[in-house]
Amino acid sequence: MKNKFPNNFLWGASTSAYQVEGGWNQDGKGPSIQDVRTNIPEGTTDFKIASDHYNKWQEDVTLMAEMGLKSYRFSISWSRIMPLGYGEINKEGLKFYKNLIKELKKYNIEPIITMYHFDLPYGLEKLGGWLNPDIVQYFEKYAETLYTHFGEYVKYWLTINEQNVMILFGEIVGIDLSKSENKTKDLYKINHHMMLAQAKAIIKCHKIVKNGLIGPAPNINPVYANSNDPIDQIAAFNMRHFRNWFYLDTCVFGEYNKNVINYLIKNNAMFQITDEEQKILKEGKPDFIAFNYYASSTAKFTLEEDFESIADQQKIKSLKGLYHQVKNDNLPKTQFGWEIDPLGFRIVLRELWDRYNLPLMITENGIGGYDTLENGVVNDQYRIDYYQLHLAELKKAILLDGVNVIGYNPWSAIDLVSTHEGVKKRYGFIFVDRDEFDLKSLKRYPKKSFFWYKKLIAENGENL
């Protein structure tokens, strides 16, 4: 298709604080749950130094500008702003992000801020973390602090990254319920607190940030039925609700999805909702929906329990009598075993637009793989192929299907540490010279995909 993407389309890239910054205890930052995490798999690095972006941010922004990025989606480390998560504010933390935002603006790169990306301040974890209802007010205060200090420069805000991932496979992204007596009940209580925190942050944003726009950022997959047996269609329907719509329906419509609620009641895991809370959920309406897309899911009906331990974001635990996730033999896989499904991207864009009719922003999409630096060059053709296929589908969704998409921020701008598979699983357009435990030079090298993306942005996707 020779047509271009819409004018002012936000061609960007993404990162998150704990995966890219390092500087875990520099300049007054308090520890986060990611800094004290004990379940890092053997042979995999921790997050203490990551890509050292905290000390190399200026160089990194220069490279982003050279790539021609129109937006940069990054998260703020809560414990860099408030070392304990509440109370005292760390001026050095504010300064770091203000400098970063100003530098981005200097190059006309639109900052897109995620307020929370898996890194709860350890000070709050000690008070019970997301299970403690007080977290709602702490999050609101944190959000208010961000709006007050950065609202003047930042238009796009994201509340919580992949809330659904934290509820569905929380172990790897900071939800530890190993000591819980009713795990399901506690999980959905946590979810309720996140929903309220999000709604309150949305309400505050609309009050404080002039022209500010705010939305959630879940991880959304289209869900296919494994066969044309109607019972598998029901399973797919169930999985869509448990995996996707439960989170977005509450955010957009202010109502909990009945399918999930009925399951919780039946399983003695229902949480309390007061009238006041119901009102807050109704009031905190988002302006757009951001979402992360990596793959699709396939569901079949099952009466068996799936006892397999949780794999990761792309493999969720079965619910007996509701759904069981199976692999899709029609799809190729990444080097790390995630299914690759560009058409699924178009499907999910259409589904989201049909269901919610709100502008969409892609806040993650990308492929993790092994990259090597040879004579200063990183040939990541497989990444270009992946993007090429996905962007062709995005273009069709916008230009043929009429979906309103305002931006595309793939994962990731620069190599960083994966949630549970270390530095070796690389995602960036920019290579960072370090290994799992050998920090090497930490020098930056644009990969082949960097130059490909630069050209694509300059042409506004005309040649896709």
- Quote the least distance from Cβ 290 to ligand BG6, whole Å: 11
Is 305 part of the annotated catalytic residue set?
no
Q: Provide the 10 A C-beta neighbour count for residue 367.
A: 24
Closer by beta carbon to ligand BG6, 90 or else 418: 418
My answer on whether omega of the bond before 441 falls inside 30° of 0, hence cis, is: no
Question: DSSP secondary structure string, 22-64?
Answer: --TTGGGPPPBTTTS---PPTT---SSSTT-HHHHHHHHHHHH
For the CB of residue 262, give the shortest distance to ligand BG6 in the complex, in Å. 28
Shortest CA distance to 26 belongs to which of 75, 87, 93, 78? 93
Nearer to ligand BG6, 353 or 411 (CB): 411
**Which candidate in 110, 140, 162, 393 is catalytic?**
162
**Least distance between ligand BG6 and beta carbon 383 (Å):** 13
Q: Which residues contact 371 (CB under 8 A, 6 or more apart)?
A: 378, 380, 415, 426, 431, 447
User: What are residue 72's DSSP bridge partners?
Assistant: 13, 111
Between 235 and 362, whose beta carbon lies closer to ligand BG6? 362
- Active-site residue flag, 162: yes
Of residues 19 and 79, the one with the C-beta less far from ligand BG6: 19
Q: Which residues are at the interface with ligand BG6 (CB under 6 A)?
A: 16, 19, 161-162, 165, 219, 292, 312-313, 364, 368, 411, 418-421, 425
* Euclidean distance between CA atoms 317 and 69, whole angstroms: 37
Tell me how far, at minimum, the Cβ of 36 lies from ligand BG6, in Å. 18
Residue for token digits 């770091």? 96
> Distance of alpha carbon 375 from its chain centroid, rounded?
33
Q: Is 28 or 369 the residue whose CB approaches ligand BG6 more closely?
A: 369
What's the CA gap between 278 and 112, in Å, rounded?
29
R_g of the chain, CA atoms, integer Å: 21
- Find the shortest distance in angstroms from Cβ 355 to ligand BG6: 22
Kindly name the residue from 364, 374, 393, 421 that is annotated as catalytic. Answer: 364
User: Looking at the annotation, which residues are catalytic?
Assistant: 162, 364
